Structure 1
Amino acid sequence: MSKTLVMNFLNEEGKKTAVRVNNVREDLTDLEVKAAMDVIIARNIFTSTGGDLKLIDSAELVDRSTTELKVK
């Protein structure tokens, strides 16, 4: 099972934009994620079609498991 961190921001147009990071650590904390999101905004690391990322909206960890099926 792999975990993906989804960090949601609001851009200059007020639209939600997501930044996804795959295969994150199991013990990732809220404070670490907030600090990373603050750095992304402060250093203007990413932009979107609606402009620069301006505000933190939300964040979530998504668990995904895959079961291979024998079809051959």
Structure 2
Amino acid sequence: MQNQNLLEELINSGLEERLRKDRLSMYEEIKREIFQMIDSSNDDKEIIKNIVKYLTDSQFRYFSRNRY
């Protein structure tokens, strides 16, 4: 029983690490895209609209890709 618990802990910690790395890479991608949007326009309203749209689309992609 103790070995099974240890094995489950190892499996869960590996999954947790993979999810953490995936989230970090997603945040980096989002950050790059947002800075690119800011640099590409001088219209604040347009920038905000594009950022909100991008974040909404990004969340959908992230959660639809990472269903467990």
Higher relative contact order (CA 8 A, sep 6+): 1
| Larger Rg belongs to | 2
Common fold by TM > 0.5: no
Higher normalized strand content (fraction of residues): 1
Q: Which has the higher helix share?
A: 2
